[in-house]
Amino acid sequence: MPAQIVGAVLHGNRPDLPPAERLPGLNSTGQAGLPSYLDLMHSCWAQEAAERPDFEAIVVELRGQLEAAGGMQGGPSGLHSMPSVCSAPSGMPSTPSASIP
């Protein structure tokens, strides 16, 4: 089974997403940012590594989406710690030297 999954991904296949109304945890206000979130997710699935956003670009995009949704002002406290999530461990470079194909 894992070999089949790897083969499918290498041939450009990606999972199908359910319609927005079937996604868990969404309400009428949560769907406003869904298209930009899905666009970001699809860009991360690009077949060519050079076409995928790096982690810094992903964080910038997610911060923008969060701010647009009003999440940076009084949202759950865990959301305020995003910068620490993408910090490199001590002694590690902040950007990888090689991309994952």
How do the domains of the chain map onto residue ranges? 29-68
State the pTM of this model.
0.61
As a whole number of angstroms, the distance between CA 10 and CA 49 comes to 12
Interval 29-46: pLDDT, tens: 557 788 898 899 999 999
As a whole number of angstroms, the distance between CA 45 and CA 72 comes to 27
Interval 50-71: pLDDT, tens: 999 999 999 999 999 989 888 7
